[in-house]
Chains A and B, each alone.
Chain A
Amino acid sequence: MSYIIAENLLKEYGNGNSTVAAISDISFKIDSGEFVGIMGESGAGKSTLLSIMGAMNSPTSGRYMVDDIDVYTLHQEQQADFRREFLGFVFQSFRLISYLTVLENVMLPMTTVKTRRKQKQDRAKQALASVGLNGKIHRLPNQISGGEKERVAIARAIVNEPPVLLADEPTGNLDTKTTHEVMRLLQILNQEGMTIILVTHSAECAEYTQRILNLCDGRLVGENKPEKKPTGQGLKAISEIIAA
């Protein structure tokens, strides 16, 4: 039984004659623990598909299920709970809250969870440690580098230990070296059991995935496996690499 199932997803914008389909007739299945890439040119519908998968954008028609939950039959507030419990987001351009410290940004998804502050802090610190950011937890986002911001964003996405991580062009603003560090980090998370869906137009990044869904003009035009697949070396190893 697949963990994520998309059936005939259609998303149209506008109304009447001016209706434009951002994506149409998209169906796929993703198993638990998979690392799937979604590739396509600009305007192919990648971000629309990811927002639908993120329970933030209701499709015009079709069905989207995660862990047997028909996501768009849920009430809006239940969708918010679903996002908190099931999904981790890594947005384009980090999207950190500028007036909160690194630690507070990572604690943010736990804000509405009834847990002791100390426990939340410990979990956030643990998530930051797992992405190799131990020493800068009290800094503000504008006091750290782009690569570090990306790692904070990843730490924030994984702090609640969601089963699925959605990453929208997470390396778009990073240099090559940092891009690879971030991608290896995602790979490690995947190896630890997290299902990861990565939207990218970079072939280099796609190499880290296990399967690629190709989008063109809002349609799923094919599926392939990346040519080479770098192997992860465990969480400890990647932390050491980043620290170095």
Chain B
Amino acid sequence: MTLKDIAFKNLMRRKGKAAFVLAGLLIGVATVVTIISFVDAMTNDINHKLEKYGANILIVPRTDNLTLTYGGLSLGGVSFEMQEIRQTDLAGIHSIKNARNIAALGPMVLGGIQVKGNRVLLAGVDFKAAGILKPWWKVRGGSPGEQDVLLGAEAARILGLGVGQPITINKHTLNISGVLEPTGSQDDQLVFARLETVQVLLNKEDKVSMVEVAALCTACPIEDMVRQISEVLPAAKVMAIQQVVKGRMETLSQFKKFSYGISGLVVLIGGLVVLVTLMGSVRERTEEIGIFRAIGFRKRHVMRIVFLEVGIVSSLAGVFGYFIGIGCAYVGLRLFSESPAPVIPIDIEMACGAVLLAIVVGLISSAYPAFMASRLDPNEALRSL
């Protein structure tokens, strides 16, 4: 006969009460597991979606001058020269520590040209990378080949050109393969062509004016990547597009905070269920505890019986709560995620955390009832019946 036997047998006798405590903890743990799994899966999902919305790191040539443009308005009269980035140097970006987090690298060369008497900005881009960096692009016509250009919607309107028509740039005649649908951005004003084509047209072989980078930064701080790229491109200025990054992070952070707040509340309610149930249980067991104390059980023995009972129930609640939580998260993802077959892997760390959470909440909630039980005066306990 040990204290464990007493605890176990009492649980078996009071199955209803034990089930109530189990339910309280189980709901709490399952909710936490559901929310954490759901939030993690949704975060990944949202991150992947957000990454489709363009670059979050910009690499530009280093300059000591300040630009005098704001919101598309330029204050004329100020011009500045800057050294462009060498395209061959960009290979170093693929060797940085977080290289695998780079989703797309979009070098761009820019230069002013004259078309039908209008000054137009010609941009040479990597159209493959542009597919990732500018997913909102919709092209009327086809993607440009070596001797083709793509016109922005405003550029096409102002120049009075359309798909299939020729365009002369620096005495080279090229074909307009497509026109961009209006994007509401600066892209509407530009003429795009392949990077190599523009480098030749502008006499800027092996030079790029800027580089856009889309980084998958779920597992890395964007600042780390900025630092790593700066190290391999010392002549360039590398900056995170803070607005995009912070916007993403804040959205996710608020979503997480809200979810964890709800989890905390449910755990608190679970704890209160345990507390109230155990207080009732201690009152019901006054005689029994009185007998234990009368025959020589110390206070800590009585407390240990209560803690053992709660520990057994809490462990079960942790294990079952984890699996129920995973199940609920899966159902939630099926309902709310666009992913056709969401996968929630069995996470041993989270499973252990769930069991630990259940035990900690159980023990904290049972501390007061256990203390009350241990303080029962054996004489009063036996006389009160």
A residues near B (Cβ < 8 Å) are 47, 51, 54, 56-57, 76-77, 80-81, 83-85, 89, 91, 95, 97-100, 104, 107-112, 117, 120, 156, 160
Contact = CB atoms under 8 A, between A and B. Distances in A.
A85 B296 CA distance: 8
A95 B378 CA distance: 13
A111 B3 contact: yes
Given A56-B378, A81-B296, A99 B291 contact: no
A111 B294 contact: no
Nearest to A160: B296
Interface string B267-310: 00000000000000000000110011111111111000000000
Contacts of A85: 296
Contacts of A109: 295-296
Contacts of A111: 1-3, 6, 297, 301
Given A51-B379, A108-B1, A120-B1, A89 B298 contact: no
B379 A112 contact: no
Contacts of B378: 56
Given A57-B379, A104-B1, A95 B287 contact: yes
A97 B291 contact: yes
26 contacts: A51-B379, A51-B383, A54-B379, A56-B294, A56-B378, A80-B297, A83-B294, A89-B294, A89-B295, A91-B294, A91-B382, A95-B382, A99-B10, A99-B13, A100-B6, A104-B9, A108-B1, A108-B292, A108-B295, A109-B296, A111-B2, A111-B3, A111-B6, A112-B301, A117-B2, A160-B296
A98 B301 CA distance: 19
Contacts of A160: 296
Contacts of B383: 47, 51
A77 B298 contact: yes
B294 A81 contact: no
Contacts of B382: 56, 91, 95
A80 B298 contact: yes
Given A57-B379, A81-B296, A95 B291 contact: yes
Given A56-B378, A97-B288, A100-B9, A107 B1 contact: yes
Nearest to B4: A111
User: Chain B interface: which size bin?
Assistant: 20 to 34
Contacts of A83: 294-296
Contacts of B288: 97
Interface centre among B3, B6, B300, B382 (most CB of A within 10 A): B382
Interface in B1-50: 1-3, 5-6, 9-10, 12-13
Main secondary structure of the interface of A (DSSP, over half): helix
Tell me which of B13, B288, B293, B378 has the highest count of chain A C-beta atoms within 10 A of its own C-beta: B378
Nearest to A76: B299
Nearest to A47: B383
A97 B9 CA distance: 11
Q: Is the interface of B mostly helix, strand, loop or mixed?
A: helix
B297 A112 contact: yes
A117 B287 contact: no
Contacts of A91: 291, 294, 382
Contact of A54 (B10, B13, B294): B294
B291 A104 contact: no
Nearest to B5: A104
B100 to A, nearest CB: 58
A120 B1 CA distance: 8
A-B interface, 5 closest residue pairs, ranked by CB to CB distance from nearest: A84-B296, A107-B1, A99-B13, A56-B379, A57-B379
A244 B203 CA distance: 121
Contacts of A97: 288, 291
Nearest to B375: A76
A77 B299 contact: yes
Nearest to B295: A109
Nearest to B9: A99
A113 B68 CA distance: 86
Nearest to B302: A80
B34 to A, nearest CB: 36
Contacts of A89: 294-295
A80 B293 contact: yes
A160 B1 CA distance: 14
A217 B291 CA distance: 28
Contacts of A84: 295-297
Interface in B364-385: 377-379, 382-383
A54 B291 CA distance: 12
B18 to A, nearest CB: 12
A112 B4 CA distance: 11
